[in-house]
Structure 1
Amino acid sequence: MNKTNENLSFFKRFRFMSSVFALMMLGFTLQAQTTTYTLKGNVTDNIGEPAPGVSVQIKNTNMGEISDFDGNYLLTANLNAGSYTLVFRSLGLVTKEIQISLGSESEVVNNVVMNLDILGLDEVVITGAGALTVKKQLGNTISSIKGLAITESASVDITGGLSGKLAGIQVTQNSGDPAGGISVRLRSASTVNGSSDPLYIIDGVIVNNNSTDILGTTSVVQNRLSDISPQDIDRIEVIKGAAAAAIYGSRASNGVVQIFTKKGQSGEPVITVSSSVNFNSLRKKRDFNQVPLDWGADGTTVPATRYDYQDMVFQNSTGTDNYVSMSGGKEKTNYFASFSYLQNDGILKSTDYQRQGGRIRINQTINDWASASFGTYFSTSKSNDQPNGGYVAGILPTILFTNNTIDPSADADGNYPNMTFYPNILEYIETFDFTQENNRTISDFQLSLKPTDGLKVNYILGYDNSESIGNSYIPIGTNTIALGSAKTNTISTKQLNSDLNASFDKDLNDNIKSTTTTGFSWQSDKTLLRSISATGLALGVKTTDGAASISTDESRSERTFWGGFLQQTFGFNDKLFVTGAIRLDGSSVFGKDERNQFYPKASMSYLVSEENFWENSFGSSINSFKIRAAWGQAGNLTAIGPFDRLSNYSAISIDGTSGLIAPTRLGNADLKPERQTELEFGIDLGLFDNKLGLELTYYKQDIEDLLLARTLSPSTGFGSRVENIGTMTNKGFEALITATPIQTTDFSWSITGTYSSNKNEVNDIEGEQFGIGNFGFSVAKNGQPLGVFYQGYYARNADGSLLLTDGGLPQREKGSYDANGNPVPERDASGQPTGSSLSKVIGNPNPDFIASLTNEFKYKNFSFRMQFDAVQGVDVLSWDTRMFYRFGGGPATASELSGESVRGTGAAKFGIAESYIEDGSYIKLRELSTSYLLKDPLKGINSVKFSITGRNLFSIDNFSGYDPEVNMDGQSNGARGGIMGLVPIPSVIKFGVVATF
C-alpha cells in the first residue's frame, strides 16, 4: 500500500470515529432532555385474579418490567414527553396494548385486565435466535408450557416433565434408575442409523443432550439434560416439523425444544426458597416361582425352598431437592441467581444420584435501543450405578437366569454361592463399584439492538462444555471376570454456536405489513474420548494402576455446521400471513461437493374469524378460527459421524513395527445429507366464548436419501459402503384440546387433552431388511415401520389354535418362502410342520396412538391436578418372559411343577419369539398433586406454598413384567421395546414447600 492510500485509509477511520463520537454526544444531549417517568399499575386476569409474570414493555424500546406475585408492575423510564404504547404479554393471556400520554405528571397509573387466550394465538414465541413472532402468524405448530408445570411434575429431569403436556411429543423413561435416560420424539423417527432427538436450545445456546454409554451398560445411560434443574425453567417452547428448520438449520429437522430460564426484574430483591422430600418405591412386584418343589435327577419333584429375590435387591428409598434463588435490579440492570442441590436414592440397592447446580443471569439495558445479557450455569453430578439389563450382566439378569432355590447370602468367610453364570446378586450390591461423574458449564452472551424503527438485530454467542467420567470396578473372583477388572472412560464435549439475526418490520400501507428476517449461524462441536481398562487386579486394588493387563484407547472427533437464511412474511390486515424462506446449510461431515444444501420453506396462516362475515354468522359460538399450512425441507446431519465418509484404516503393530489394516467398509466422498420434506395442515378453533380450544394438525413427512450400508462385491476388497439409498415416510394426526368449563373468582376447572398418531414406513432397503437391535430381532424392513420385530412364530391349526407336538408341546412354524419373501407353512404326512424354520413380523414397538388427559381444579388457595398418560397399540419384546420359560425362577416352571402344564412347555416356548411378544399398552397415572397457598403468612414472607405430588402411582396394563415403558436399548433410535433385566420406573410421592420473601 502506498503512502497516499495509507493517508486516505487513516482519514476514513478518523472520520468514522468522529461520526461515532458525534452520535454518542448527540445521544447524551437528547437523553439530557428527557424526563424520568414512573409507570405503574396492577394486572389481573379475566376473573379478577392477580396476573404475575406479565411482561410490561414500552413498544419499540428495550424498556420493560415483569409484574410481581400480586400482579403489580413498576417501570421507571427516561423519556421525552409524548404518546407511547404499553404492551402487556403473558403466556395464556391475550396480549393487550394501551396508549399512554406522558406530559407534566411524572407518575402514570394504568390498571389492566387481560383475557384468557385459550389457543395461545397472541403468544410471542421465539422462532429463531432472538426472532420474536406472534403465534397467530405461524403456519406450523408451536407449543408452549410454563416452567411451573415442569417443576410440579415431580420429575428430576426436564424432559421427563414434558410427558403428556403437549400433542405430538412422545416421552419415554427408558430406565427406573435415579437419573435414567429419557427418549423424546417429536412426531416420529426420521432416520434409521442417526438420531431422531430434537434440537435442544437453552437461552439461545445449542446444548449437548447426548446419551453416551460410558459404563458399558446401555440401560443406565443418562441424558445430559439431567444436568439442568427444572426449577430454573421459566418456559419451554416446542416446534415440530421441517418448516421450522428453515430458520434453525438442519440440526432441527427433528424439531426444536427451546428452554428459557428465569430472569430478574427491577425492584427489591425477591428470594425464593424451596425444599422437598420424596419417597420412592417399587410400583409392583412381578410373579416368581413360589412352588416349594424342584425337579429331581429322576425327573420327579422333590421339596425345595424358594426365595423372593425382589425383597433382597429392591428397597424403598428417599430423596431431597433443595433450591434457592434471588432476583432483583434497579432501572437498567436486573439479575437472577440460583443454586440447587438434589439427592435421590434408587429403588435398586446401591444406586443413587446427586446433582449440584448454580445459575447467574444479568440483563443490562445500555440505552433505549441497545441491551445486553449474560448468563452462565454450572453443575456437577455423581451417580452410583449397577450394571443391569440388556446386553450385559447385572443384578436383575442374574435373577432371570437362575433358579430361585439358591440362598444368595455369603458364608462365614465372605464367599458368595454361585447362582448362575453371572455373579451373585448380593455380590453386585456389596462389592461392585460403578459410578458416573459429570461436570457441566453452559454460558451465553447476547446483544440486542434496535438502531432504528422496525429494525432489530440480535447476536448470541453460546458455549457448552461437558465432561463425563465413568468408573467401573469388578472384584477378583466373580463368575464373569475371575481376575477382576477396572475401567475409566472419559468423554469431553465442547459445543460453540454463534448466531447473528436481523429482522425489519415495515408497514407498506394501512393493510399490508412486511417482516423480513435474515441470519447466519456457525456451530462447532469437539468430542474427546479416552479409555483405560485393566484386568488381573492386585488384591485390594480398585484402580488400573499395577494391573496385569492394561489397554488404552483414544478417539477424537470434530464437526462444524454453518448456515444462513432469508425469510419474508407479509401480513394482510393482521389476519392473513404468508411466509417464504430459503436456507443454505453446510456440514463438515459430508464431502466438499455435497456438504452445502439449500432447503426452502413456505407457510400460510389465515384468521378467518377476523372477517366480518364470520363475526356476523358464527362469532357467537366459534370465537376464533385459524387455518394454517406449512411446507418445508430439511437435512439430517446425524446419520453419519465426522469421518464416516472416509475409508478409515486401523493401526496395528506387526513385529514391533507400526502398520495399517484396511477397513471392511469403503468410504464414500459423495454422501449427502438425508432430506426430509414435510407438509402440514391444521386448524385452530376457539369455541363457546373461548371456553374450549381445539388444535388439529395433519402432517406427512417424506424422507429420502437415507444413509444405509450397501453390500459390495467381494472383488472390490470391501464388504460394504454407505450410500444414499433408503426412504421413509411418516403420516400423522395430532389434536390438542383445552377447556375451562368453570372459571369464577373462587373456583376454576381446566382440562387439557392430547392425542397423537403416526404411521411410519421404511422402503428401498437393499436386501429387504437388516437388524438394528434386540439381538437382531428389531429390524428395518421394507414396507414396515422402523424397528418391527421379525422372528419365529407359532405353528397353528386352521382354526388358529396352536399345533402341538405329539408330546403336547407348542412348536415353531416351518415351511418355505414364496417369490415375494412371504412365509408359506408346510406340513408332513402326519400333519406336523416340515421344512425350514420360518420368520415373519411378529410385533411393532411403534404405538398406534399416544394420549393424555389432565384435569386441574382450583378453589381459592387450594389446587388439585391429575394427569393420565396413555400409550396404546404397542408391542414389547419381553426377554424377561423368555428367560423365565427356560430357567427355574419364573411362573412357567411353577406351572410345570404343579402339573398345570406339560413339562417342557417353557423350554419349547423359549425357542419361539412370538411367545414372548406382549402387549405394551398402558394407561398411567403420571401425576397427581394437591397444593395450598398461603399469602402474606408472616411479616417479610410474601407467600408459602405446600404441595404433595405423586408420580407413576399406578398403571393399567396387561404386561407380565414390571413396566412396559422401559427399553433395554436405552435412547436408541430404531431399536425399541426390548425389555430384559431393567430397573422399573418407581412410584414417587413428593412433599414440598416453596416460600418467597
Structure 2
Amino acid sequence: MTKLQQSFRNVLFFQYRKKYISAFLLLFAFSLGLYGQTTIRGNIINEKTKEPIIGATVLVKLGNEGAISDVDGNFIFSTPKSLPISLIINYVGYTTQEIDIYEADRSVVVQLSERSNFLNEIVVIGYTQTKRGAMASAISKVGVEEIEAVTASSLTEKLQGQVGGLLVSSTSGSPGSAMLVRLRGATSINANNDPLYVIDGVFINNKTLQGIASGGQTTNALADINSADIEKIEVLKDANATAIYGSRGANGVILITTKRGSAAKRTTVNFNTEVGFSHYNKLWNLTTGPEHALVLNEAYINDGGSYISRPYRPKNEIVNGEPGLGSPEEQGTYDRLHLLFRTALQQTHNLSLSGGDEKNRFFISGEYTDQEAILKLQDFQRYSFRINLDHDLNKNLEIGVSTSFSETLRELCRAGDTGGILNTGLHTPTLTPIFAEDGSYNRSERFNNPHVLLENSNHHTKGNHLIGNVYATWKILPNLLFKSSWSLDNNNYKENVYYNANLNEGKSTNGSATEAYTINQLWTAEQLFNYNTPIGTNNFVSLFIGNTLQHNVLERSTLNGTNFPSISFTSISSAAVTTSSNTGKIPSGLISYFGGANYSFANKYSLDVNFRADASSRFGKSNQ
C-alpha cells in the first residue's frame, strides 16, 4: 500500500469516526434532555361530591411550570425540577392546597374542600363593605407575591403586566422617571388620563412637581413609595366600581393597602436585600467615518455642488483656496455611544418589624434603594421609613396611624434635545474626532463633547414626601360601623441645575443656573358610615354614606442666575445677574357627599346604586 493510499484511508476513518462521535453526542444530549424533564399528572375532584373540578390552577411552588385542569379534572405538565416537587392547587371558592410529589410514574388525586363561607365573607374595597358573592364590579387584585416577584424601583413599574386592561409603559427608561399608566384607554384628549391613587385611604397626588425641563424626562412622584411595604393592590376598572369617586375616578382607581401587624403574633424581623446589574443588549449600528463622509459628499453633489469641490477629497486638492478635508477612506471612526453607556448597578435593602398582641399591632420598615441607569448621569436613590400602628381601645373602638416618609435623590441630564446626553452620542457625526490635534477636547460640533458633558454636568434634585393618616373606627351596632380618618400628603421637591461655560448651554452667558422649589400639600378629612345586614336566608343589603373634605395648596419659587466669575463658582449667589419668580400659594378645595347601596339575592343576583355630589373651588362661584 502506497503512502498516498494510507493517507486517504486515514482521512476516511477520521471523517467516519467524527460522524459517529457527533451522532453519539447528539443522542446523549437528547437523552439528557428527556431525563431532565419530570412529567406530573393528576386529577382534581370535589372532596364531597367526588365530581371533577374544571379550571383549577396547578403550579409548581417557586417555579413557573403548571397547568389548568380540563373538563374531566385532569392535568399534565412537565418541569425541569427534580423530585420531590411541591404543587399548589387553588380554585375560587375552595381551600388552596399544597401537596408534595415524590413519584412521577403515577397519577395523583387531589381533593379540594369547599370554603363554605367564602361567598359570605365581608370584603372591604374602597368605601364599600359587602359580601364577596355580591360583588359585581370589575376589580383586579395584585397580591404581595406578584409585587415582590418584579424587581423595580417604582410602584407603577411593579404593575406592568399584572392586570388585564392596564397599560404601563416607561416614557424614558430612567429610574424614578414618569410612567404612562392607562386603564382601558384614554378618556380625554387634553385632560389628565392617569388613574386615581389611594394609599391606605390617603388620596395621592401623582403629578410630577418638576419645574425645570430635562429634555423630555419627567420625574415620577409614585417612585417615592417603597413597594416592599405594600400588602395588596386593587384596581377598580368599570364605571360601577369607580363611580363613587366621581370625576377623579373616570380613569380608574388604584387602591393600595400597606402591610400591618397581626394580633397575637410574635414579633417578626424581616431583612431582604437585592443586588443586580443591568446592561444594554445592543446599541445603534452607526455609520463609520468613511461611510459618513461618502454620504456627505453625495448630499453636497445632490444639492447642486460640483464633484470637484466636494468637501471630502484629498487634502492636496485645493479648490477656491480651500484644501480638501481628506478622502472618505482617510476619515477615522470615533465611537461616542460606548462612552455614555455602562453596566448599571441596582441595589435595594429592606428591614421590617411586625407583630402585635390582642390590643396592639405594629408594622415598622426602613429601606434604601440605589439604582443607576445604563445611560450615564441618570441615577436614583431613595431612603424611606414607614410605621403603621393599630390599637383597640375596647371591643368596639379602634384607632390607628399610617405614616411614611421618603427622601429621594436624583441625578439628571437632558437626554433628548440638543444638549442631551443621548443625542451627543447618537447624532454627532462619527467622523468627528473627540480630541483636537493639541490633545484638548474637540468642541466643533453643536452637541456637547461627551467627556465635557460627563465632567461638567450638574443637575440634581432632592424630594421629601410625607404621607400620614390617622383614623378611628367605631362599631356602633353589630352591623353599623363608623370610620373617621384625617390624612396629609405633603411633597417637597427641590431642583438645582448648573451649566458652566464649558457646556453649550452656558457658553453664551458664561454659565447659567436655575434653582426651583415646589411644595404641594393635600389635606383630607373623611367620615364614613357602613351598614350590612342579611334579610332572611337569601337576601343581603349593604349601605354606605360619607363625606370628604379636601384642601390643596401648591407653591413654587424659581431663581435664575447667569454670568458667573468662573466655572469654580456654582452657587446662584455668585452670579452677576439673577432673576426670581414665585407663584405664591395656590389653594383649591373639594367638598364631596357620596353614598351607595348593594342588594344581593342568593349570591347570584346583585344590584348596585351609587350617588355622589362634588363642589370644587376650581370652578367659578356660580358653578361650584
With over 3 angstroms needed to count, the CA separation of the structure-2 counterparts of 1:298 and 1:354, relative to structure 1, is same
Aligned to 2:477: 452
With over 3 angstroms needed to count, the CA separation of the structure-2 counterparts of 1:155 and 1:220, relative to structure 1, is same
Matched, 1:470 2:502: no
Aligned to 2:399: 372
In 2, distance between residues paired with 1:418 and 1:46? 62
Alignment of structure 1 residues 732-811 onto 2, 5 Å: none
User: In proportion to residue count, which structure has more strand?
Assistant: 1
The residue type paired with residue 567 of structure 1 is G
In 1, distance between residues paired with 2:405 and 2:268? 22
Matched, 1:315 2:342: yes
With over 3 angstroms needed to count, the CA separation of the structure-2 counterparts of 1:433 and 1:124, relative to structure 1, is farther
The alpha-carbon deviation at position 412 of structure 1 amounts to 6.9
Aligned to 2:240: 243
In 2, distance between residues paired with 1:494 and 1:255? 23
Of residues 568-577 and 225-234 in structure 1, the stretch that sits farther from structure 2 once superposed is: 568-577
In 2, distance between residues paired with 1:311 and 1:276? 27
In 2, distance between residues paired with 1:558 and 1:241? 31
- What SS is found at the alignment partner of 2:339? helix
Aligned to 1:546: 574
- What SS is found at the alignment partner of 2:157? helix
Aligned to 2:506: 481
2:138–2:241 Cα contact (<8 Å) kept: no
Aligned to 2:178: 181
Aligned to 2:421: 395
Quick one: which of 306, 310, 315 aligns to 1:298?
Answer: 310
2:361–2:390 Cα contact (<8 Å) kept: yes
Aligned to 2:556: 529
1:273–1:324 Cα contact (<8 Å) kept: yes
Quick one: which of 582, 591, 599 aligns to 1:570?
Answer: 599
In 1, distance between residues paired with 2:310 and 2:276? 52
Alignment of structure 1 residues 361-760 onto 2, 5 Å: 361-389=388-416, 391=417, 393-409=419-435, 415-482=440-507, 483-539=510-566, 540-555=568-583, 556-595=585-624
Q: Normalising to structure 1: TM-score of the pair?
A: 0.47
- Deviation string for 1:277-305 (max 9, x for gaps)? 01011132112012535146526652211
1:504–1:517 Cα contact (<8 Å) kept: yes
Larger radius of gyration between Structure 1 and Structure 2: 2
- What SS is found at the alignment partner of 1:593? helix
The alpha-carbon deviation at position 47 of structure 1 amounts to 9.2
The alpha-carbon deviation at position 313 of structure 1 amounts to 0.5
The residue type paired with residue 125 of structure 2 is T
The alpha-carbon deviation at position 350 of structure 1 amounts to 2.8
In 1, distance between residues paired with 2:217 and 2:405? 23
- What SS is found at the alignment partner of 1:473? strand
In 1, distance between residues paired with 2:260 and 2:579? 48
- Deviation string for 1:731-751 (max 9, x for gaps)? xxxxxxxxxxxxxxxxxxxxx
The alpha-carbon deviation at position 409 of structure 1 amounts to 4.2
- Paired residues, number: 491
User: In proportion to residue count, which structure has more helix?
Assistant: 2
With over 3 angstroms needed to count, the CA separation of the structure-2 counterparts of 1:412 and 1:420, relative to structure 1, is closer
Aligned to 1:224: 221
In 2, distance between residues paired with 1:219 and 1:115? 54
1:382–1:438 Cα contact (<8 Å) kept: yes
2:334–2:434 Cα contact (<8 Å) kept: no
1:233–1:262 Cα contact (<8 Å) kept: yes
In 1, distance between residues paired with 2:499 and 2:548? 46
Alignment of structure 1 residues 811-826 onto 2, 5 Å: none
Flag structure 1 segments of 5+ consecutive residues without an equivalent: 1-44, 51-90, 97-112, 596-997
1:148–1:234 Cα contact (<8 Å) kept: no
- What SS is found at the alignment partner of 1:578? strand
- What SS is found at the alignment partner of 2:623? coil
With over 3 angstroms needed to count, the CA separation of the structure-2 counterparts of 1:586 and 1:218, relative to structure 1, is farther
The residue type paired with residue 488 of structure 2 is Y
Aligned to 1:271: 269
Alignment of structure 1 residues 143-162 onto 2, 5 Å: 143-162=140-159
Aligned to 1:207: 204
- Deviation string for 1:441-479 (max 9, x for gaps)? 111012112111211112221111111111101111433
Q: Normalising to structure 2: TM-score of the pair?
A: 0.74
The alpha-carbon deviation at position 341 of structure 1 amounts to 0.5
In 2, distance between residues paired with 1:335 and 1:502? 26
* Identical pairs, percent: 25
The residue type paired with residue 202 of structure 1 is I
The alpha-carbon deviation at position 125 of structure 1 amounts to 4.8
In 2, distance between residues paired with 1:114 and 1:168? 32
- Deviation string for 1:922-971 (max 9, x for gaps)? xxxxxxxxxxxxxxxxxxxxxxxxxxxxxxxxxxxxxxxxxxxxxxxxxx
- Deviation string for 1:631-666 (max 9, x for gaps)? xxxxxxxxxxxxxxxxxxxxxxxxxxxxxxxxxxxx
The residue type paired with residue 170 of structure 1 is L
The alpha-carbon deviation at position 504 of structure 1 amounts to 1.3
In 1, distance between residues paired with 2:367 and 2:233? 20
In 1, distance between residues paired with 2:177 and 2:286? 25
Aligned to 1:783: none
User: Alignment RMSD, CA only?
Assistant: 2.7
With over 3 angstroms needed to count, the CA separation of the structure-2 counterparts of 1:515 and 1:380, relative to structure 1, is same
Flag structure 2 segments of 5+ consecutive residues without an equivalent: 1-55, 62-89, 96-111, 298-308, 314-326
The alpha-carbon deviation at position 521 of structure 1 amounts to 0.9
With over 3 angstroms needed to count, the CA separation of the structure-2 counterparts of 1:187 and 1:218, relative to structure 1, is farther
Aligned to 1:192: 189
With over 3 angstroms needed to count, the CA separation of the structure-2 counterparts of 1:246 and 1:349, relative to structure 1, is closer
- What SS is found at the alignment partner of 1:251? helix
Aligned to 1:283: 281
In 2, distance between residues paired with 1:363 and 1:411? 70
The residue type paired with residue 503 of structure 1 is N
With over 3 angstroms needed to count, the CA separation of the structure-2 counterparts of 1:447 and 1:231, relative to structure 1, is same
- What SS is found at the alignment partner of 1:248? helix
- What SS is found at the alignment partner of 1:488? strand
With over 3 angstroms needed to count, the CA separation of the structure-2 counterparts of 1:412 and 1:92, relative to structure 1, is farther
- What SS is found at the alignment partner of 1:249? helix
Aligned to 1:128: 126
The residue type paired with residue 588 of structure 1 is S
The alpha-carbon deviation at position 136 of structure 1 amounts to 3.7
Bigger relative contact order (CA 8 A; separation at least 6): 1
In 2, distance between residues paired with 1:385 and 1:215? 11
